[in-house]
């Protein structure tokens, strides 16, 4: 009817219009189907915890509960703390890391169960990636590889070995103090976060790679260290990719770290080993200890699953991967802890006075020498250190992956095999249930009485159980040597650039101060 009234000239136009219309209709149908598909996909995905009757914050399309962290607006530690605080009466909270359901653990008895009592069912951290890209290291490796590595490398971290290594730390502390003297003569206000990092980088280079670096005078080196730091500690979207497709990095043989990093550390390790002709040279650093281990034979262990023997070739790649993780885990964590400690000391004069008194007294006993034995005598320092790590636990969050379907004791809940359990130190440490007036800095929380009245898992800055931080002693010793030497000569004061309320940098993997910590270093009379 419509057509008969039209001349043929318009026919082609009409067909064209119809064609467009048809295309449009197809598109509309396809889009609707896709939307419904996605809608049902996400509805099912985000129904996971509801179906299990586990409470949790409302997830957002694609991002789950991590929108602010994915956008790098908030540190993931803060995001998980908010989810934790939102459900005061729950023992566990169901969250979604993008589309992956994970279980946030609040109840400390369940924390203990997972981390300690049933550790054998929760060995993996769930962050494994390609072994060729530095992945064969203690922190990232899973399962049997981890177990074998941990057994083999634990003897490197005994107090005896550390004591033998501590001369490297005390020497570096003298250089550090000279550097501080020169700097503060010109400008007494310094960013102590950057400052103490020069100390820990020097130490870890000396201990992990046997390198005596002069970071205070070598501008090129300083730049290189900063580049490496960025590549290790600024979060990349590989993290999110792994949340969307768990295990993808291992499957596509990809590393969490760029090629530049793996090449750099492989080369470094190879050169040091070559330099030492493959044998220890009496420096007593980690590289010496590793080479000593290697002389004792290859790394062997049993596979848990079938009791067959697992043999790890003790080659340069495995050595490089461990030296890399000692480096990465060794300097930033301690530096940040020290910076937060100085920040709280500047804000809490009475605590600083008390600590200075203790330092002066102990140093007098040891002829003014900051030695390994001397720092073991600093008991108030231990409390201050622990209280600092309570308020600012550097690693957030701890992770353990269920190896089987696991019935949670005391709850009507089965954690499905493969589910990641998240244990959030920041949230636990600032929970008024465990620490009254939690935002207050008070070292007396670590008096023997107060410690005795708390759940053993209420303070977990180094994690807990068989997979806790292997470098805890090392961290304590290097931090104490640095702080003791610094405070024997300076006191710290806040300035108008010092943050009243600490903010965490969302663009770092670990918890660290946003914009540094600017304090005035005042020479002591
Ligand atoms: C204040 C300083 C430090 C803090 C707060 C810290 C914290 C942690 C935490 C929370 C973990 C995970 C533990 C768990 O999952 O239960 C960890 C693991 C680890 N840390 Fe540290 N750490 C520090 C210093 C160091 C140092 C100095 C080294 C090495 C020299 C080191 C090497 C490691 C390694 C290799 C692991 C993996 C252990 C494993 O999976 O078997 N850390 N650290
Ligand atoms: C520390 O060094 C000394 C001297 O070389 C050595 O005899 C001792 O065995 C070392 N201690 C440890 C625990 O390795
Ligand atoms: C994985 O990548 C490394 C280089 O990054 C390469 O040497 C290795 O052969 C690769 N392995 C597989 C299984 O593709
Ligand atoms: C300090 O914290 C560590 C780690 O939680 C703990 O092992 C140690 O006993 C604590 N020290 C004091 C004095 O509470």
Pocket test for ligand 4, best of 333, 341, 386 (most atoms within 8 A of CB): 386
Return the closest-CA partner of residue 488 out of 373, 371, 388. 371
Measured distance CA(325)–CA(265) in Å, rounded: 10
Which of 390, 425, 435, 446 is the pocket-test mutation for ligand 4 (most atoms within 8 Å of CB)?
Answer: 446
- pLDDT of the residue at 298: 66
Residue 56 domain flag? no
Query: For residues 264-273, b (16+ Cβ closer than 10 Å) or e, as one string?
Result: bbbebbeebb
Mean pLDDT of the residues in the chain: 91
Is the pLDDT assigned to residue 73 strictly greater than 60? yes
- The predicted structure's pLDDT at residue 44: 87
Residue 87: which CATH number? 1.10.630.10
Ligand 4 atom 14: the closest Cα is on which residue?
446
Name the DSSP class of 64: B
In this structure, the number of other CB atoms found within 10 A of the CB of residue 135 comes to: 24
150 CA to centre of ligand 3 in angstroms: 24
Neighbouring C-beta atoms of residue 351, cutoff 10 Å: 21
Instruction: Say yes or no: CB of residue 448 within 6 Å of ligand 2.
Output: no
Which tokens belong to 50?
């509801």
Spatial CB neighbours of 124, under 8 Å, sequence gap ≥ 6: 142, 143, 146, 400, 401, 403
Q: From the CA of 468, how far away is ligand 1's center (Å)?
A: 7
Q: Which residues line ligand 3 (CB under 6 A)?
A: 130, 132-133, 253
The residue to mutate among 108, 341, 382, 453, having the most atoms of ligand 4 within 8 angstroms of its beta carbon, is 382
Beta-carbon count within 10 A of 39 CB: 11
The residue whose CB lies within 8 Å of the most ligand 1 atoms, and thus the one to mutate among 469, 470, 508, 510, is 469
pLDDT over 90 (residue 40): no
Looking at residue 255, its pLDDT comes to 83
Q: Which two tokens stand for residue 49?
A: 């915890």
What's 156's DSSP letter?
Answer: G
Give the ligand with the smallest distance to the CA of 254: 3
User: From the CA of 325, how far away is ligand 1's center (Å)?
Assistant: 9
CA–CA distance, 419 with 96 (Å, rounded to integer): 11
Contact indicator for 105, 422 with CB cutoff of 8 Å:
yes
CA angle 441, 493, 175 (to 5 degrees): 105
CA dist 245 and 401 (Å) reads 15
Residue 34 lies in a domain: no
Residue 284, φ and ψ in degrees, nearest 5 = 70, 15
Confirm or reject: Cβ of 167 under 6 Å from ligand 2: no
Helical residues (DSSP H) of 187-233, grouped into ranges: 192-209, 219-233
Query: Is residue 35 one of the residues assigned to a domain?
Result: no
Decide if 195 contacts 335 (C-beta within 8 A). no
Instruction: Tell whether ligand 2 has an atom less than 6 A from the beta carbon of residue 171.
Output: no
pLDDT, one tens digit per residue, over 253-297 is 888 888 888 999 999 999 999 999 999 999 989 999 889 888 887
DSSP code string of 32-59: HHHHHHHHHHHHHHTTHHHHTT---PPP
Q: What is the pLDDT of residues 392-444, one digit of tens each?
A: 999 989 999 999 999 999 999 999 999 999 999 999 999 999 999 999 999 99
Domain carrying residue 450: 68-523
Number of H helices, E strands in the chain: 20, 11
Can you tell me the distance from the alpha carbon of 203 to that of 478, in angstroms, rounded to the nearest whole number? 8
User: Which pLDDT score is estimated for 239?
Assistant: 84
Return all residues near 119 (Cβ < 8 A) that are at least 6 apart. Answer: 465, 466, 467
Over residues 376-387, mean pLDDT:
97
Cα dihedral sign for 259, 260, 265, 268?
positive
Judge whether 57 lies within some domain.
no
**Nearest ligand for residue 468 CA:** 1
Nearest CA to ligand 3 atom 6: 132
| Cis amide leading into 397 (omega within 30) | yes
**Tokens coding 148:** 């074998």
> What is the 292 CA–ligand 2 centroid distance (Å)?
12
Rounded Cα gap, residues 157 and 365, in angstroms = 27
Domain contains 39: no
Question: 284 alpha carbon to ligand 2 midpoint, in Å?
Answer: 8
Would you say residue 389 has pLDDT above 80? yes
> Which ligand 2 atom lies nearest to the CA of residue 160?
13
Q: How remote is the CA of residue 44 from the centroid of ligand 1, in Å? A: 37
Ligand sitting nearest the alpha carbon of 164: 2
Quote the number of domains for the chain. 1
Domain assignment of residue 52, yes or no = no
211 burial (CB, 10 Å; 0-12 / 13-18 / 19+) is: middle
Buried b (16+ CB within 10 A) or exposed e, 381-413: bebbbbbbbbbbbbbbbbbbbbbeebebeeeeb
- Of the pLDDT bands very low, low, confident and very high (cuts 50, 70, 90), residue 57 is very high
Whether residue 299 has pLDDT greater than 70: no
For residue 176, what pLDDT is reported? 94
Residue for token pair 């140093």? 363
Measuring CA to CA, which residue among 260, 150, 133, 279 is closest to residue 210? Answer: 279
What is the Å distance from ligand 2's center to 164 Cα?
6
Position 128 pLDDT exceeds 90: no
Whether 283 lines ligand 2, by a CB cut-off of 6 Å, is no
Question: Does 131 score more than 90 pLDDT?
Answer: no
The reply to whether 32 falls in a domain is no
| Gap from CA of 370 to ligand 2 centroid (Å) | 20
Across 139-150, average pLDDT: 91
Which ligand number lies closest to the CA of residue 452? 4
Mean pLDDT, range 189-200, rounded to an integer = 95
| pLDDT-based confidence at residue 470 (cuts at 50, 70, 90) | very high
Do the domain assignments include residue 125?
Answer: yes
Could you tell which of 462, 466, 479 is best to mutate to test the pocket of ligand 1, judged by most ligand atoms within 8 Å of the CB? 462
Distance CA 400, CA 113 (A): 12
Q: For residue 8, what pLDDT is reported?
A: 56
3-state DSSP assignment of residue 167: helix
Among the bound ligands, the one closest to the CA of 165: 2
For 410, phi and psi rounded to 5 degrees?
85, 0
Q: Which two tokens stand for residue 524?
A: 């002591």
Mean pLDDT (whole number) for 472-481: 96
Between CA 522 and CA 519 the distance in angstroms is 9
More confident residue, 37 or 384: 384
Closest ligand 2 atom to residue 164 Cα is 1
Distance of CA 80 to the CA centre of its chain: 14
- Alpha carbons 178 and 162: distance in angstroms, whole number: 25
Q: The tokens of 110 are what?
A: 């369940």
Give the span between the Cα atoms of 99 and 95, in whole angstroms: 10
Here the tokens at position 450 are 């107060």
- At residue 276, the pLDDT reads 93
Confidence of residue 9 (pLDDT cuts 50, 70, 90): low
Distances (CA, A) of 484 to 173, 177, 380, 518: 9, 11, 12, 19
**What order of strands is seen across the sheet that includes strand 398-401?**
92-97, 100-105, 420-423, 398-401
Segment 44-62 shows an average pLDDT of 94
Longest dimension (CA), the chain: 112
Q: Mind listing the pLDDT tens digit for each residue in 76-109? A: 999 999 999 999 999 999 999 999 999 999 999 9
pTM of the model: 0.91
Task: Give the model's confidence band at 1: pLDDT under 50 very low, under 70 low, under 90 confident, else very high.
Answer: very low
List, for residues 317-376, the tens digit of each pLDDT value.
889 999 999 999 999 999 999 999 999 999 999 999 999 999 999 999 999 999 999 999
**What 3-state class would DSSP assign to 194?**
helix
Q: Which residues have CB under 6 Å of ligand 1?
A: 138-139, 150, 325-326, 329-330, 333-334, 337, 394-395, 398, 461-464, 467-471, 474-475
Rounded to an integer, what distance in angstroms lies between the CA atom of residue 166 and that of residue 171? Answer: 9
How far is the centre of ligand 1, averaged over its atoms, from the C-alpha of 461 (Å)? 9
Q: Is pLDDT larger for residue 494 or for residue 218? A: 494
């Amino acid at each position: 009817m419509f057509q008969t009234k039209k001349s043929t000239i318009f026919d082609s136009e009409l067909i064209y219009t119809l064609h467009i219309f048809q295309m449009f209709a197809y598109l509309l149908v396809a889009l609707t189907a896709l939307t419904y598909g996605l809608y049902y996909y996400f509805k099912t995905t985000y129904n996971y915890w509801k179906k299990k009757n586990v409470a949790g914050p409302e997830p957002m399309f694609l991002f789950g509960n991590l929108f602010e962290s994915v956008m790098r607006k908030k540190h993931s530690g803060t995001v998980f703390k908010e989810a934790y605080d939102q459900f005061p009466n729950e023992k566990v909270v169901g969250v979604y890391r993008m589309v992956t359901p994970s279980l946030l653990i609040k109840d400390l008895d369940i924390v203990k169960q997972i981390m300690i009592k049933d550790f054998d069912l929760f060995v993996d951290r769930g962050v494994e990636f390609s072994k060729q890209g530095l992945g064969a290291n203690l922190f990232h490796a899973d399962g049997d590889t981890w177990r074998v590595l941990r057994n083999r490398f634990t003897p490197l971290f005994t107090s005896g070995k550390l004591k033998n290594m501590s001369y490297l730390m005390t020497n570096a502390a003298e250089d550090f103090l000279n550097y501080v003297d020169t700097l503060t003569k010109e400008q007494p206000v310094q960013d102590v976060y950057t400052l103490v990092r020069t100390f820990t980088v020097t130490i870890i280079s000396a201990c992990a790679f046997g390198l005596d670096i002069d970071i205070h005078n070598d501008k090129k080196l300083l730049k290189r260290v900063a580049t490496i730091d960025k590549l290790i500690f600024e979060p990349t979207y590989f993290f999110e990719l792994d949340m969307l497709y768990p295990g993808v990095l291992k499957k596509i043989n990809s590393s969490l770290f760029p090629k530049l990093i793996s090449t750099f550390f492989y080369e470094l390790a190879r050169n040091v080993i070559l330099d030492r002709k493959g044998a220890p040279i009496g420096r007593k650093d980690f590289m010496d200890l590793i080479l000593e281990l290697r002389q004792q034979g290859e790394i062997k262990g049993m596979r848990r699953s079938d009791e067959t023997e697992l043999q790890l070739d003790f080659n340069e790649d495995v050595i490089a991967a461990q030296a890399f993780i000692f480096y990465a885990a060794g300097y930033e964590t301690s530096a940040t802890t020290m910076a937060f400690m100085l920040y709280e000391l500047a804000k809490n004069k009475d605590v600083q006075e008390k600590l200075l008194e203790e330092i002066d007294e102990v140093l007098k006993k040891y002829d003014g020498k900051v030695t390994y034995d001397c720092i073991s005598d600093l008991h108030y320092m231990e409390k201050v250190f622990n209280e600092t790590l309570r308020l600012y636990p550097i690693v957030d969050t701890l992770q353990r992956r269920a190896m089987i379907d696991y019935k949670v004791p005391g709850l009507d809940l089965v954690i499905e095999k493969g589910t990641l359990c998240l244990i959030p130190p920041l949230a636990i440490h600032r929970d008024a249930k465990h620490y009254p007036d939690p935002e207050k800095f008070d070292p007396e929380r670590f008096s023997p009485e107060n410690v005795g009245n708390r759940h053993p898992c209420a303070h977990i800055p180094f994690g807990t159980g068989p997979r806790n931080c292997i470098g805890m002693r090392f961290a304590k010793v290097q931090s104490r040597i640095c702080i003791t030497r610094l405070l024997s000569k300076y006191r710290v004061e806040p300035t108008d650039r010092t943050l009243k309320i600490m903010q965490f940098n969302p663009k770092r993997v670990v918890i660290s101060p946003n914009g540094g910590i600017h304090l005035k270093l005042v020479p002591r009379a």
